[in-house]
A and B are shown apart, each in its own frame.
Chain A
Amino acid sequence: MNDKIVITGFGLVSSLGLNTQETWEALLSGKHGIRPIGDAHVRGFPCEAAALVHGLDPEGLGIHPRDARIMDKHSLMLMKASKDAFKHAHLDSSSITPDEVGFFAGMGMVDYSIEDLLPAVMKSMYPQGNPDYGAFYSGGYQDIYPLWPLSMLNNISFCQAAINLGIKGENTVFSPHADSGAQAVIEGMNTIAEHKAMAVLAGGVSEKVSPLSLARATWFGILNGEDTLCRPFGAGRTGTVLGEGSGMIILEHQSSAKKRHAPYYAAITGYGCAFDKNDAARCPTASAESRSMEQALAKAGIEPFDIDVIIAHGDGTHMGDKNEIEAIHYTFNTCLDKIHVYSSKGSLGHLLAGAPAVDVILTIHMLQHGIIPMIPGTYPVDPGLRFNLVNSKPVKASVKRVLINATSYEGQCVSLIIEKAD
């Protein structure tokens, strides 16, 4: 019963660095990774900024060119974070068998790249420019690379990472929003708790920022079209900014970590899930968010005042932040002055399914170093807000327990509780 589930390794890729250390240091110095997109193919959208990941190449990750052809950027980010987490936890074939390793990830929508379809579409048009399906079905489609269909399945990059790391155990892929990355952590945790695996790789990866992903987010009405920054809980916030990145963690029983003399960095002790949404809204209701946080507290067996830091979903959308503020006010009513609230999206952009595990890794650093990074873009703060938002400079604090929120634009809210593990 007291055998806690602990984190024994992690890997992180973000716009601020291709590893955890670089990202953490940049966050502490108040940097953000949001820049004009600067890609000739991503133009004309109201939102022209994103926090992109740079410098990942298949060769550097030891990926065979044959495999690389069906691996887009999200695959590389997942591969990099997963390999780093494995290495960090000192897991290899000598310490564990493939059947004993589980794998759970939250992943985004996978979009076609226009270049992949363009030659086939060009061959399948009437001279007037409208589609000629007859030509498409009878041969035009052959201009599409035969393995292209695999690259459209978001479990393929997942399976490629499994092949690379030799993982054969319990698994699933959730999609596409932030809740999915948190659910991956929850299912990983329960897989350990039920002794279905000795170790689990869990976390998530963002979508690649592309014309289609940007079009989807714009269509959804969540993107910031008036400003080049993401300002979580800001007074004049006008929307979120997409980010790229991935966070992956290794989960084990504390006893198992001790047995193999592996260091562990934190324990996951609680989680909660609740769903509700108002019709036109792109976020859960405040009551669903409260419910999710309260479930997580109950599961961890703690009270609201036991929480030191909340890493909010805080995506900088008007309604999403408003509901989250209301939920935090409600649930933490008795201890608002004690709680520090942070959101990583002001620095890293919105990593969707990649966000929760990245927040778990940032939590580990807060627990270790007793410092909370600042949200760079949020000034002034929402006047209705009654908790300590860490927005002007990093705050030193004794951090023992952190609550993380992750929500879906479709109305699901998930909360996780991470604690110091002695």
Chain B
Amino acid sequence: MNKRKVVITGLGMATALGLDVEENWQKALSGISGISKLTYPHAENSKVQAVGEIKSTNWARLQQEFPEDAVREGERRTLFALWAAQQALKDGGLVRKNTEHRSQNIDKKNAENNLGSGLWAPGSESFRSGVILAAGLGINRLEDVQKWIGKDGNFAYERFGREHKGIHRESIVKNNSHRPSALIAKRFGLNGYNATVTTACASASQAIGLAFRLIRRGDADMMLAGGADSMINPVGLIFFVLLGAAASSADSPEETCRPFDRKRGGLVMGEGAGIVVLEEEAHALKRGAKIYAEVAGYGTTIDAYQVTAPHPKGEGAEHAMRAALLDADTAPGEIDYINAHGTSTKLNDSAETLAIKNVFKEHAYSLCVNSSKSIIGHLIAASGGPELIFTALSVLRNEIHPTLNLKNPDPKCDLDYVPNVKRAKIVRSAISNSFGFGGQNASIIIKKFKS
């Protein structure tokens, strides 16, 4: 039996570079960094000072775009997710014009007849469409603990129990990881499979990989997949400092993230979202959708080595890429470009390089490898979303954005990382890698679309 083909028909994102996919892409190609000095309040003493924050003007725009959700929802990432989902659907020609700025109530009659609010283009079936999103950590604030410390210096548990509703709305207590994917499903009438993946930095790639498999095996015709995340909050800011994985600040923020550079010193956090519309090929062709690229394969593995460090030889990463190639029925020689996990930590970048060399042998040296994190930072659970979008655009347009700040070659990282200047190159097929803390690895293969 021939497998159903899965194509990408819509892109939506929000990063430090902006709220528009084309703007993100052009800036990334030009090597404009989204990393800047932290503006989060009261954080002047934070060890982490370089971050890829969503600019305050853009945040204000998101709040205007989703006024009800801005008031009701506690987490920043929820608005990022709504925005990226809406952009992806619009880009895919799947949102009716009159419903763009209004929520659920618009199509009440349709909702009653068809369960979903029926925002999809006519002819599509809401139960054959779903959402799989990545989610990161909930937000913990000092106030949430401090507020219930008694005069005796102990935490007043009973008082907390009575007064817990007074906890900040951003707190993990008033939120849950399934919220963004459910809000999106409700708003846009996607009434099929709905799930939330929580596998740390591998989450968004796994979400996209699972959505791809779901369509390929026939359980859905259309899926929104990707992720949204932000760890720019008090406990988030010290999270990677405690683990020894945060970059120590460089003189200028935009030079702090330097994947594959000998002087790389750790990861730089970003925030935002990246969500794509995946669609079965015939379904997309039938409605005349524009097709960016084909999702051809997905593979995922576990290091089963240590939860504190990746496998030093990148064994899990190697196996994930091999599994994806096998899944895509693609020979290593057909891959021209890898959007690496490339976190700018000592351990990841050398292990990932080794894994690439083990999979591709000599061909590894003719590949282009880059790290989007050098430009937009590490979007943690969401990182695979924007990175897959960049990968798809490279496959479509034969252009590869640079890896920024790569100035000091590392003998352990000796591939072509497209240092500092974009590259024009025919990209037949590409891989996007995401590896999570704990040891979960995911690789996705994107191919040029041929009907």
- Whether, in the assembled complex, B301 has its beta carbon less than 8 Å from a beta carbon of chain A, the answer is yes
List of A residues within 8 angstroms of B235 by Cβ: 117
Stretch at the interface among B52-60, B390-398, B431-439: B431-439
Indicate whether A107 sits within 8 Å of B198 (C-beta atoms), given known contacts A162-B302, A291-B127, A412-B178.
yes
Identity of the chain A residue whose Cβ is nearest the Cβ of B40 in the assembled complex: A133
Please, what's the 1-or-0 string for A174-213, where 1 marks a CB less than 8 Å from any CB in chain B? 1111011001000100100110100000000000000110
Shortest CB-to-CB span from A338 to chain B, Å, is 27
Contact of A175 among B135, B172, B438 (CB under 8 A): B135
Contact of A114 among B47, B131, B145, B191 (CB under 8 A): B145
How far does the alpha carbon of A133 sit from the alpha carbon of B41 in the complex, in Å? 9
- Whether, in the assembled complex, B36 has its beta carbon less than 8 Å from a beta carbon of chain A, the answer is no
- Whether, in the assembled complex, A336 has its beta carbon less than 8 Å from a beta carbon of chain B, the answer is no
Stretch at the interface among B15-23, B179-187, B268-276, B280-288: B179-187
- Whether, in the assembled complex, A335 has its beta carbon less than 8 Å from a beta carbon of chain B, the answer is no
- Whether, in the assembled complex, B213 has its beta carbon less than 8 Å from a beta carbon of chain A, the answer is yes
The answer to whether A172 touches B210 (Cβ under 8 A) is yes
The answer to whether B146 touches A285 (Cβ under 8 A) is no
The answer to whether A276 touches B191 (Cβ under 8 A) is yes
- Whether, in the assembled complex, A136 has its beta carbon less than 8 Å from a beta carbon of chain B, the answer is yes
The answer to whether A176 touches B43 (Cβ under 8 A) is no
The answer to whether A137 touches B307 (Cβ under 8 A) is no
List of A residues within 8 angstroms of B167 by Cβ: 215
Number of interface residues, chain B, beta carbon within 8 A: 89
- Whether, in the assembled complex, A373 has its beta carbon less than 8 Å from a beta carbon of chain B, the answer is no
The answer to whether A117 touches B145 (Cβ under 8 A) is yes
How far does the alpha carbon of A138 sit from the alpha carbon of B49 in the complex, in Å? 12
How far does the alpha carbon of A155 sit from the alpha carbon of B145 in the complex, in Å? 25
Shortest CB-to-CB span from A418 to chain B, Å, is 19
List of B residues within 8 angstroms of A276 by Cβ: 115-116, 186, 191
The answer to whether A215 touches B173 (Cβ under 8 A) is yes
Shortest CB-to-CB span from B203 to chain A, Å, is 8
How far does the alpha carbon of A212 sit from the alpha carbon of B439 in the complex, in Å? 28
Contact of B142 among A44, A121, A149 (CB under 8 A): A121
List of A residues within 8 angstroms of B178 by Cβ: 175-177, 179-180, 408-410, 412
- Whether, in the assembled complex, A214 has its beta carbon less than 8 Å from a beta carbon of chain B, the answer is yes
- Whether, in the assembled complex, A173 has its beta carbon less than 8 Å from a beta carbon of chain B, the answer is yes
How many cross-chain pairs have Cβ atoms below 8 Å apart between A and B?
276
The answer to whether B172 touches A133 (Cβ under 8 A) is no
Stretch at the interface among B152-160, B247-255, B331-339: B152-160
How far does the alpha carbon of A190 sit from the alpha carbon of B220 in the complex, in Å? 14
Stretch at the interface among B25-33, B238-246, B352-360, B419-427: B238-246
The answer to whether B182 touches A171 (Cβ under 8 A) is no
Indicate whether A150 sits within 8 Å of B438 (C-beta atoms), given known contacts A160-B307, A176-B176, A180-B196.
yes
Indicate whether A150 sits within 8 Å of B308 (C-beta atoms), given known contacts A155-B200, A173-B197.
yes
The answer to whether A109 touches B172 (Cβ under 8 A) is yes
List of A residues within 8 angstroms of B213 by Cβ: 190, 194
List of A residues within 8 angstroms of B130 by Cβ: 273, 275
The answer to whether B43 touches A137 (Cβ under 8 A) is yes
- Whether, in the assembled complex, A68 has its beta carbon less than 8 Å from a beta carbon of chain B, the answer is no
Contact of B157 among A44, A98, A183 (CB under 8 A): A44
The answer to whether A43 touches B149 (Cβ under 8 A) is no
The answer to whether B191 touches A288 (Cβ under 8 A) is yes
- Whether, in the assembled complex, B2 has its beta carbon less than 8 Å from a beta carbon of chain A, the answer is no
List of A residues within 8 angstroms of B234 by Cβ: 133, 136-137
How far does the alpha carbon of A137 sit from the alpha carbon of B439 in the complex, in Å? 28
How far does the alpha carbon of A369 sit from the alpha carbon of B307 in the complex, in Å? 41
List of B residues within 8 angstroms of A218 by Cβ: 164
How far does the alpha carbon of A170 sit from the alpha carbon of B210 in the complex, in Å? 11
Q: List 15 A-B contacts (CB under 8 A).
A: A117-B140, A133-B142, A137-B234, A147-B308, A150-B437, A162-B304, A167-B304, A174-B197, A214-B161, A215-B173, A273-B130, A276-B115, A276-B191, A408-B194, A410-B182
Residues of A within 8 A of B (CB): 40-45, 67, 70, 98-99, 103, 107, 109, 111-112, 114-115, 117-118, 121-122, 124-125, 129-131, 133-138, 141, 144, 146-150, 152-156, 158-160, 162-163, 166-177, 179-180, 183, 187, 190, 193-194, 196, 211-212, 214-216, 218-219, 273-277, 279, 285, 287-288, 291, 295, 408-412
Residues of B within 8 A of A (CB): 42-47, 104, 115-116, 127, 130-131, 135, 137-138, 140, 142-143, 145-146, 149, 153, 155, 157-165, 167, 172-174, 176-179, 181-182, 185-186, 190-200, 206, 210, 213, 217, 219, 234-235, 237-244, 299-308, 316, 319, 323, 327, 436-440
With A133-B234, A171-B300, A275-B192 known, 6 other A-B pairs at CB within 8 A are: A150-B437, A167-B304, A170-B301, A177-B176, A180-B195, A291-B191
